Amino acid sequence: MRLLKLVPDDTNIDFVRLRHAAFVITTLLTIAAVAVVFARGLNMGVDFVGGLMIEEKFEAPPPLDEVRRSIERLDVGEATLQQFGDPRTVSIRLPVPDSTDEGATNAVVEKVEKALAAEFPGATFSRYSTVSGKVSGELVNHGILAVVLAVLAIGLFAIFRFEWQFGISTVVAIVHDVLMTMGFFALFREWLVFDLNIVAAVLTIIGYSINDKIVIDDRIRENMRRYRKMDMRQIVNLSVNETLPRTVMTSLTILLALAALLIFGGHVLRGFTAAMILGVIVGTYSSIYVSSSLLITLGLRAEPPADKPGPAPSNAERVGPRSGS
Amino acid sequence: MLDFPRWKVTSIIAFIVALMLLAVPSFFPEEQTAKWPIPHPRVNLGLDLAGGSYLLLEADTKDLANSRLEQMREQVLTEMRRTTPRIGIGDISIRGGKLSFMVRDASQVDAARERLLGITGSGAGMTGQRQWDVEVVDTSRFVLTPTQAGLNEAITTAMGDATEVVRRRIDELGTKEPTIIQQGSDRIVVQVPGLQDPQALKDLLGKTAKLEFKMVDMNADPAELAKGNAPIGDEIVPYPGNPMGVPVIAVKRSTIISGDQLIDARQAFEPQTNAPIVDITFDGEGGKRFAKVTQENTGKQFAMILDNQVISAPSINEPILGGKAMISGSFTVDSANELAIALRSGKLPVALKVIEEHTVGPDLGQDSIHAGILASAIAATAVIVFMLVTYGRFGIYADLAVTINIFVILGVMALLNATLTLPGIAGFVLTIGTAVDANVLINERIREERHRGRSVVQSVELGYKEASRTIFEANVTHAIAGFIMLILGSGPIKGFAIVLLIGIATSVFTAVTFTRMMVAIWLRRNRPSEIHI
């Protein structure tokens, strides 16, 4: 049986040559992403801004205008309506009633329920959430803290296990990934809600992206020991090429799994999966064009101090030119 | 590296099989597993999958501080009265979170101070700090200020009790497996799966159920009360159903009997009118007191005050002996039953309010489970086929590892009594992806080494060795992200992180150790001179 080979043996693509152009493009894209976030804002879920979210399932796809009108009649504040994937499911967002009375929020939920059920027979609620301003503030802080801590901890680990340049380049690449994801969510704010699930997605993207970078970094470190005299650009190129089959293979497998989740996983997970898919693509890109390329710019040397003990001394026996390249 | 003695093979397989067996009960309906004679740990389904309510309750600590001041006022009054000779005090007031009063006779200041030190307690828990600071200003005015340590201790005690009360109330509702945990210093998380009516739950939790019986001041002028002027020694309490027309009533400050002295409360019907009521039974002490008070005050009115609102103010027609009473008011059967539950479970020492709520209907939960299972199955199949066509025999090993890994994760989750949520399913799908990455790394490395011209055995050995280091590093960083999610995350993030972390741990074992064993056995048996990879 002939086995599938996605990437031919001994590729020798000169990734590094394009790095200056890539830096410019990456920087511009990142700035654009940040600009989009500021210009359009994120479509924050009730988790982060507080409020009330009712997800209603109708018998048949309802006309949104009518739904909106019947809610407006209740005088419960301005409603934001949104349809996800399934046209029969409508999410209704309302501000938390301006009252200290505990029952007020429940009363709103009940009112909306009754009105919709009366006007659209067969409409039932799928779920609802209410988050007070106090909690949402904490959730935002915790979310930001989690992301920042994750980036820092991973950067420190990279510095500890590798050289400082690896730490810096990794952190820069991850910040890029996170910003791009946020830009994506701002760009498609009509379809994607930024909520707690997305913070989980961002943290996973960070995890995945770092995973990808460590694999290449690990190879770069190995090649630096093996070819002490080799130019750094060559080493990076060689390492990226050597790990290319793995990069392609893994990204494709994960994308396959995520595609299944996106298509069949139901609408609740859709935003999460969309974020993950983007993250895998962006993360793979940034492994090559941000973190690896940045190592060259940061002046990582192919010749480490002679007395530096390596964690994998067994590499010594393998010094030799790479065959066929 | 490729040396696998028999004992090692046996123990690896035994370990895997044991973990996989732990996953089995989760595939059977709960009613069925409950009858199994062997232990049957299960993976719990999160609320987003099972349907149900998540409530985050927060204690009103201001309210607690106020009621502490009120209590202290009562204590001071009793204490000073009890002292012989009696210490005359006046102008007692609560202002700005402090309690202050005057001692009428300046020569009694020292005696008063001594008494106060006794009741304001020095032993505020383990810190040994005072509960209250006692100061004397202007020679005869005492000012009592609650200390932070004392307040914190009061909050801690109150929250412990409140959590217990909440648990009892929810148990009374008869829902299955509610989770009630205290979070931080002043919050309680309540998770009730499969709850049909979250409204009833919230109504029940919203009741402080502080029940007091106080005497009504029959001489108070309703017109003055309406203006908010209470006679001395009285307080004005809302009374929505007051037949006198004004929605308030004046009662004596001192409580004749309180809900603490209850031993039972049941919903019942008034014999004459058939209206729903709540029958209550006092304990021995409470019963005696109630009998005494009703004897002394026949012909007068007393008020039943629930959560600072008068429910009814019946006249005492005759002494009530035997420690039983009934609370009547404008109840429905449901509201009478709710009150009975609230009274039975004891009063909440502090008011709680819902600051976050997520309720998922049972239909959406079902839909999500189906979608999640379908997506996972398709994802797994796609990945398995993909690995097979790419790596041949080594792909089969990897596939086997991935499949085992799914069951092992479930097994470990069951063992840890972890909860599977919708983001958790996403975690599963992602774990399938990353577990495969380990095998991809290994197999690509073997390909590479083989390509460099090493022998089959050497390539395999080096492939595993070199890739293991990378896998270790990659997984550690991944785990760092996972731990941060677990610690800082709430709700969905936590559910995801649990699966992710377990998956990282188990995938290293299945994807590296297990496949290496399989490859080693195959190599030893067949001694192939060439491998297709």
The DSSP result for A197-232, as a single string, is HHHHHHHHHHHHHHHHHHHHHHHHHHHHHH-TTS-H
**What is the SS3 assignment for B525?**
helix
The answer to whether the CB atoms of B371 and A265 lie below 8 A apart is: yes
Same domain, B378 and B472: yes
Q: Is residue A312 part of a domain?
A: no
pLDDT of residue B125: 47
Cβ-based contacts of A199 with chain B (< 8 Å): 489, 493
Measured CA to CA, the distance from residue B533 to residue B531 in angstroms comes to 6
Measured CA to CA, the distance from residue B400 to residue B515 in angstroms comes to 8
Closest B-chain CA to A154: B477
3-state SS string over B128-148? CECCEEEEEECCCEEEEEECH
In Å, how far is B361's CA from the nearest CA of chain A?
A: 5
ipTM over 0.85? The verdict is no
Cβ-based contacts of B352 with chain A (< 8 Å): none
Q: Which of A4, A272, A312 is facing B389, going by the closest CB pair?
A: A4
In Å, how far is B34's CA from the nearest CA of chain A?
A: 30
Q: In this structure, what are the phi and psi dihedrals at residue A42, rounded to the nearest 5 degrees? A: -95, 150
Same domain, B232 and B270: yes
Mean pLDDT of all residues in B238-266: 82
Q: Is residue B305 part of a domain?
A: yes
Query: Which tens digit of pLDDT belongs to each residue from B496-522?
Result: 888 889 998 998 889 899 999 999 999
The amino acid that residue B156 corresponds to is T
A38, A308 Cβ separation under 8 angstroms = no
Cβ-based contacts of B474 with chain A (< 8 Å): 210-211, 214-215
Same domain, B16 and B99: no
Compute the residue count for chain B.
Answer: 533
Q: Which residue has the tokens 């939790």?
A: B205
Q: A-B interface: how many C-beta pairs under 8 angstroms?
A: 241
User: Pick from B512, B511, B507, B337: which is nearest to B431 by CA?
Assistant: B507
Q: Which two tokens stand for residue B509?
A: 């074992």
pLDDT of residue B527: 84
| Tens digit of each residue's pLDDT, chain A (325 residues) | 567 777 777 778 888 888 888 889 999 999 999 999 999 988 888 888 888 888 888 888 888 888 888 888 887 777 888 876 677 888 888 887 765 555 677 778 878 888 888 888 888 888 888 888 788 888 888 888 888 888 888 888 888 888 888 888 888 999 999 999 999 999 988 888 888 888 888 888 888 888 888 889 888 988 988 888 888 888 888 999 988 888 888 898 889 888 988 888 887 788 888 898 999 999 999 988 888 888 888 877 765 555 444 444 444 444 445 544 3
Cβ-based contacts of B376 with chain A (< 8 Å): 260
β-strand pairing of B419-420 with B44-45: parallel
Q: Does B358 touch chain A (CB under 8 A)?
A: yes
The amino acid that residue A2 corresponds to is R
Same domain, B12 and B69: no
Structural domain containing residue A35: 16-43+136-303
Same domain, B109 and B258: no
Measured CA to CA, the distance from residue A292 to residue A13 in angstroms comes to 14
Same domain, A29 and A105: no
Measured CA to CA, the distance from residue B391 to residue B329 in angstroms comes to 77
Per DSSP, helices labelled H in B214-361 are 222-227, 284-296, 333-344
The answer to whether the CB atoms of A261 and B382 lie below 8 A apart is: no
Cβ-based contacts of B185 with chain A (< 8 Å): none
Same domain, A160 and A103: no
Q: Which two tokens stand for residue A42?
A: 């994120």
Domain count, chain B: 3
Q: Which residue, B152, B171, B195, sits at the end of a domain?
A: B152
Q: Is residue A308 part of a domain?
A: no
Q: Is residue A141 part of a domain?
A: yes
B300, B358 Cβ separation under 8 angstroms = no
Residues 377-396 of B with CB under 8 A from A: 378-380, 382-383, 386-387, 389-392
Which domain CATH number covers B87?
Answer: 3.30.70
In Å, how far is B405's CA from the nearest CA of chain A?
A: 16
Chain A interface, best mutation among B1, B421, B490, by max A CB count within 10 A: B490
Query: Which tens digit of pLDDT belongs to each residue from B346-402?
Result: 777 888 888 888 888 877 878 888 888 888 888 888 888 988 998 888 999 999 998
User: Pick from B401, B330, B307, B402: which is nearest to B13 by CA?
Assistant: B401
Same domain, B424 and B386: yes
pLDDT of residue A302: 61
Same domain, A249 and A143: yes
Measured CA to CA, the distance from residue A66 to residue A61 in angstroms comes to 11
List Cα–Cα distances, B30 to A222, B25, B27, B51, B147, in angstroms. 52, 8, 9, 16, 51
Same domain, B368 and B280: no
Measured CA to CA, the distance from residue B63 to residue B206 in angstroms comes to 14
Q: Which runs of E-coded beta strand occur in B63-112?
A: 89-95, 98-103
Q: Which two tokens stand for residue B387?
A: 């690995």
The amino acid that residue B259 corresponds to is G
Cβ-based contacts of A132 with chain B (< 8 Å): 355-356
**What is the SS3 assignment for A166?**
helix
Q: What angle do CA B53, B54, B56 make, to 5 degrees?
A: 140
Domain count, chain A: 2
